[in-house]
Amino acid sequence: MKLLNYFLKRYIKQLNQKIVLEILLSILFCLLVGFFVFNRYKLIARSNEVLPKKVSLINKVKDQLLEASPSAKLKVVIVDSQSGKESVLNFKTSKFIYSSALESQMFQIVNNERMKNGLNALKYDFNLEAVARDHSADMLIHGYFSHISFSGKNVAQRLTFFGINYALAGENIAFAPSLISANEGLMDSPEHRDNILNPQFHRLGIGIADAGSLGLMITQVFTN
């Protein structure tokens, strides 16, 4: 009987130790899960705080650009909403050059976008280039950014003024530090993307006024 009691006590002791160990392991597991969930929540909360700050910073930089002096370095891309609303650049300059090399590269970029989407390549039109160059220069000289020219003409009226016949026309404008960033900005804008990928357009002329550290004033004119 004593031997039986001894084994019973020993068994109960071992059982209690096992239960305590399982309880401790359960507590440790809960603490680890709680720690992970808490840190995950902090990370999400921090991300939600940072994102508005980044958006606010981008908008602030864009606003600063529109208020910049002529010596400012362009760091962002501006594309027009095609609403006809004018943006004031707050600087004017006639110190720019037309760049045939950049215009040729931009033309290739546009056709690459079209071919990636199963569309035919556009043909380059030097008459449209003249319209586009004239508008890019006009925006820099008079310090504005809009589809409506300083004299109040939209792209249709400017095409007519240059004696160009067309049935369908479109225009993209961008002010950017590089061709790649300009194209990204245009492709991210539904209205501009639609012009680039419009299957009814067959001709394109591009006018790029390179204003050095100020950036590239780009106008793309499409017709059928």
Residue range 167-191, pLDDT digits in tens: 999 999 999 889 999 999 999 988 8
- Tokens 């499409």, residue? 222
pLDDT band at 198 (very low <50, low <70, confident <90, very high): very high
pLDDT for residue 63 is more than 90: no
Residue 158 near residue 93, CB atoms below 8 Å:
no
pLDDT for residue 213 is more than 90: no
The answer to whether the Cα torsion of 98, 104, 105, 107 is positive or negative is: positive
Tokens in use for 87? 């943006």
Collapse the DSSP code of 150 into the 3-class scheme (helix H, G, I; strand E, B; otherwise coil) and give the result. coil
How high is the pLDDT of residue 163?
Answer: 93
pTM over 0.75: no
1 exposed, middle or buried (CB, 10 Å; 0-12, 13-18, 19+)?
exposed
Q: For 67-125, where are the alpha helices, taking DSSP H only?
A: 100-116
Question: Strands 123-124 and 203-210, how do they pair?
Answer: parallel
pLDDT for residue 207 is more than 90: yes
Q: Considering the chain, what is the average pLDDT of its residues?
A: 75
Q: Which of 80-84, 155-159, 184-188 has the lowest mean pLDDT?
A: 80-84
pLDDT band at 151 (very low <50, low <70, confident <90, very high): confident
How high is the pLDDT of residue 20?
Answer: 53
Q: Which of 221, 216, 223 has its CA nearest to residue 139?
A: 216
Length of the chain: 224
How high is the pLDDT of residue 205?
Answer: 95
Name the percent of the chain in helix, strand, coil, to the closest 5. Answer: 55, 15, 30
Residue 218 near residue 174, CB atoms below 8 Å:
yes
How high is the pLDDT of residue 94?
Answer: 87
pLDDT for residue 137 is more than 70: yes
pLDDT for residue 61 is more than 80: no
